[in-house]
Amino acid sequence: METTLIILKPDAVQRGLMGRILSRFEDKGLQIVGCKMIRISQQTAERHYESHKGKPFYNGLVAFMTSSPVLVLAIRGVGAIAMCRKMMGATFGSNAEAGTIRGDFGVSNSFNLIHGSDSPEAASRELEIFFGAGEVLDWDRAGEKWIYDLSGGAPE
């Protein structure tokens, strides 16, 4: 099982898309193990996007991410990182396939609704930035056996 960070960005929050996007992850069978609405501070945004520092879009990205509340999620499942990124779609809404979050809800090349960790290392780093000790929970879902084939002893 992997746990990944998902951020519903200011445009998703302002457009009232949080529930519809969150439902997609749950409908897929992924487990929400952490969730909170926050306003990202300048310092946190700079830390989160430090790999982009010096790029032409960096200042605008930090300003955008601090402009309004966001919903941060810790999502768990087998292959959760790749699965969530596939569900998100191409970075720019204008290029994203129909059926993806960005493809269905986005048209902008600046406002792209959602962030998802791109690797296990990034997920670990990013989850630490946005969730403190005890805020990402381990809990058993009653329907887990209907989501994953557990007959071999491990989720499949």
**pLDDT at res. 110:** 84
Strand partners, 71: 8, 37
**pLDDT at res. 33:** 98
**pLDDT at res. 153:** 78
Query: With contact defined as beta carbons under 8 Å apart, do 35 and 89 qualify?
Result: no
Query: With contact defined as beta carbons under 8 Å apart, do 97 and 34 qualify?
Result: no
Examine residue 18 and state whether it is found in any structural domain, yes or no.
Answer: yes
Examine residue 111 and state whether it is found in any structural domain, yes or no.
Answer: yes
How many domains would you assign to the chain?
1
**pLDDT at res. 9:** 98
What the block records as the tokens of 12 is 């998703």
Answer yes or no: is pLDDT of 136 > 90.
yes
Print the domain residue range for 66: 2-134
Examine residue 146 and state whether it is found in any structural domain, yes or no.
Answer: no
Q: Which of 141, 125, 135 is nearest to 34 (CA)?
A: 135
Examine residue 139 and state whether it is found in any structural domain, yes or no.
Answer: no
Strand partners, 36: 72
Q: pLDDT tens digit string along 61-100?
A: 999 999 999 999 999 999 999 999 999 999 999 999 999 9
Helix H, strand E, coil C: the string for 60-98 is HHHHHHCCCCEEEEEEEECCHHHHHHHHHCCCCCCCCCC
**pLDDT above 70 as % of the chain:** 100
Answer yes or no: is pLDDT of 156 > 90.
no
Note if the pTM is more than 0.85.
yes
CATH number at residue 117: 3.30.70.141
Amino acid type, 6: I
Q: Which residues are catalytic?
A: 115
Examine residue 143 and state whether it is found in any structural domain, yes or no.
Answer: no
Burial of 104 by CB count in 10 Å (0-12 exposed, 13-18 middle, 19+ buried)? middle
Examine residue 153 and state whether it is found in any structural domain, yes or no.
Answer: no
Burial of 7 by CB count in 10 Å (0-12 exposed, 13-18 middle, 19+ buried)? buried
Examine residue 149 and state whether it is found in any structural domain, yes or no.
Answer: no
Q: pLDDT tens digit string along 7-44?
A: 999 999 999 999 999 999 999 999 999 999 999 999 99
**pLDDT at res. 152:** 83
Examine residue 145 and state whether it is found in any structural domain, yes or no.
Answer: no
pLDDT category, 108, cuts 50, 70, 90?
A: confident
